[in-house]
Amino acid sequence: MSNRTTVTEFLLQGFSDVRELQILHFVVFLVLYLAALVGNLIIIMVVALNHYLHTPMYFFLMNLSVFDIGCISVAVPKSMANSLMNTRSISYPACVTQVFFLLFSVGGDVFLLTVMAYDRYVAICQPLHYERVMNRRACVQMAASAWISGILNSALHTGNMFAITFCRGNTVDQFFCEVPQLLKLVCSDSYLIEIGVIAFSACLVLSCFVLIIVSYVQIFTAMLRIPSEQGRHKAFSTCLPHIIVLSLCIFTGTFAYLKPTSSSVSGLDLVAAVLYSVMPPVMNPVIYSMRNKEAQSCPEETDRVEVIH
């Protein structure tokens, strides 16, 4: 306990020690952060204010935007501030906060993407039953399940992680507080409990991934039976962005959390962290809405892109 109380702050990994590159890192992350923030806020406002978009697809997309804002707002601003001020420190409470909200946002993203895959399955494979299955109450319950699952998963990791004694220094080999990198600083066998928690979470993510794959196998099978080439194109354009975001989030997150930890700093760790924590919030507004005609104009002016209609 005495060893743990001496850790009042952690030192995060910077992208470079060269001042010019630190400024470049600040500028690049600032552009990405503002793009993600503005894009996701626009989605939330447009969906909330336009009653034509009050459909399950856009209701889930609005929730996804909230998760994305939380995800990128947890890790990026502190890293930008450290680069701008040429420092690496983060306080112990701030590190706890980063771990909790990052795991909550990423976990909520995965669970919500699973719900969105099910929504597309019902819309394309069972269109006649869509309004009955995806009614308002069911949508609210599914979204609430994603939020609750994210909170429980995050609380389990955070509570267990920071009950462990840190006595191998305070340098975190990542630009934000990440559980696998924090485990390098643990000096007792108590870290095995957190390894078990990570394995449990990995099983949950794998279960979500299997459900999504099963949904998309059914979806693509149904797509091949669409007689109209335009209809197939609309169906693929609705589903492919979902697959891109899902693959990016799950595979890079799995790499970061399940690969064997190394005592040396790896550039792949930094790249993987950027891909699962920064890029999805930036990409989601673009691939889900910017190319969607329905998000740019009213349905009376253009044909709807949604397959469910």
User: What CATH number is attached to the domain comprising 153?
Assistant: 1.20.1070.10
Q: Are 194 and 157 in contact (CB under 8 A)?
A: yes
Beta bridge partners of 10: 90
Helix (H) or strand (E) holding 59: helix 56-85
What is the sign of the dihedral through the CA atoms of 260, 265, 269 and 273?
positive
In a domain, 219, yes or no: yes
pLDDT tens digit at each of 309 positions of the chain: 444 446 788 888 877 778 888 899 899 999 999 999 999 999 999 889 988 888 898 899 999 999 999 989 988 999 899 888 888 889 989 999 999 999 999 888 888 988 988 998 898 888 888 888 899 999 999 999 999 988 998 998 888 888 777 777 788 888 888 888 888 888 766 667 777 778 888 888 888 888 888 888 888 888 777 777 776 776 676 667 767 777 777 777 777 777 766 655 567 777 888 888 888 888 888 877 655 544 444 333 333 334 433
Residue 12, SS3? strand
Residue 76 lies in a domain: yes
Which residues lie across from 9 on neighbouring strands? 91
Q: How far is 277 from 226, CA to CA, in rounded Å?
A: 36
Residue 68: inside a domain, yes or no?
yes
Give me the chain's average pLDDT, please. 80
Q: Is pTM, for the whole model, over 0.85?
A: no
Is 309 among the domain residues? no
Q: Residue 11 is inside which H or E element, if any? A: strand 9-12
Q: Is residue 223 one of the residues assigned to a domain?
A: yes
For residue 137, is it within any domain?
Answer: yes
Tokens of 16: 């470079």
Helix (H) or strand (E) holding 89: strand 89-91
- Supply φ then ψ for residue 89, to 5 degrees: -80, 150
Domain span at residue 250 reads: 2-296
In a domain, 36, yes or no: yes
The pLDDT tens digits for 210-221 are 888 888 888 888
The answer to the question of residue 204 being in a domain is: yes
* Total domains present in the chain: 1
